[in-house]
Amino acid sequence: MPLIILTGLPTSGKSTRAKQLHDYLTARIAGTKYRLHLISDDSLSISRSVYDLSTVPVHTRSANASEKDARAAIYGAVKRVLSDKDIVILDGLNYIKGWRYQLHCEAKAVRTPSCILQIGCTKERAQQVNEARLKRSQAAASASASGQEGADDASGQEGADDASGDTAEPYEPANWENLVFRHEEPNPMTRWDSPLFTIIWEDDEEQVKRTFDSLWEAIAGDGRKIIKPNQ
């Protein structure tokens, strides 16, 4: 069963959509022999700081071991479970096209389809989310330093993000900017970035369901492409 690779800018709403897809697929495969897995940086305890090149001198950037290690951990986790009976949702930045190619080949090797779910969001909107997270974590850090009571309530007024009980780790601003700069948009003309499905921030429940329905149809329904080793 398929490998579903999410991609999108940092803090663009990927985990939110991955959870919605997880709920959708849980209902869809109920009573079947299929199993469902959600793999993410959070599920593998990978910190946002592994993507931070801002502290690495330019000449050593290619040897950014921490991001490489993170990718190896993700690759291992996908490889361990991917099979014709397992659906894997890979929630993450997945911003390098060569990396998406590698994952596509891994799926092909176990004769299962892969697809891309792109989370579309403006840079400004995604940045607001990260800034709200930064404010919240700075408020929490200064509260714990001063032992202040009720500081959580104060930080909760900083943005809509906090009102939703969001506790995710922020990216350092330079790291966030750099990830946006390095992001390689999926290209549906390539084998490894297709089929490509897109959900945008503004999409309502109905639209999201329609996208999930067509994703399901393409990877598991009658329209499912038969994977041949030489494709």
Tell me how many residues contact ligand ADP (CB under 6 A): 13
Q: By CB under 6 A, is residue 12 in contact with ligand ADP?
A: yes
- Sites for ligand ADP among residues 119-178 (CB under 6 A): 129, 161, 164, 166, 168
- If the CB atoms of residues 50 and 227 are measured against ligand ADP, the closer one turns out to be 50
Give the Cα separation of 56 and 138 in Å (integer): 23
Contact between 157 and 122 under an 8 Å Cβ cutoff? The reply is no
Q: How many other C-beta atoms lie within 10 A of the C-beta of residue 118?
A: 22
Q: By CB under 6 A, is residue 11 in contact with ligand ADP?
A: yes
Residue in the block written with tokens 């809509």: 160
Selected binder of ligand ADP within 3, 5, 15, 215 (CB under 6 A): 15
- Sites for ligand ADP among residues 182-201 (CB under 6 A): 201
What's the token pair of residue 47?
A: 């910190």
Q: Is the dihedral of CA 95, 99, 104, 107 positive or negative?
A: negative
**Which residue's beta carbon is nearest to the bound ligand ADP?**
13
| Cα distances (Å, whole numbers) of residue 140 to 61, 151, 166 | 32, 7, 13
Shortest distance, position 9 Cβ to ligand ADP, whole Å: 7
Parallel, antiparallel or unpaired: strands 196-200 and 86-91: unpaired
Shortest distance, position 4 Cβ to ligand ADP, whole Å: 15
Q: By CB under 6 A, is residue 14 in contact with ligand ADP?
A: yes
What's the token pair of residue 184?
A: 């390689």
Shortest distance, position 168 Cβ to ligand ADP, whole Å: 5
* CA neighbours closer than 13 Å in the CB half-sphere of residue 4: 29
- If the CB atoms of residues 60 and 157 are measured against ligand ADP, the closer one turns out to be 157
Contact between 7 and 218 under an 8 Å Cβ cutoff? The reply is no
Contact pattern for ligand ADP over residues 75 through 114, marking x by CB under 6 A: ----------------------------------------
Q: List residues binding ligand ADP (CB under 6 A).
A: 8, 11-16, 129, 161, 164, 166, 168, 201
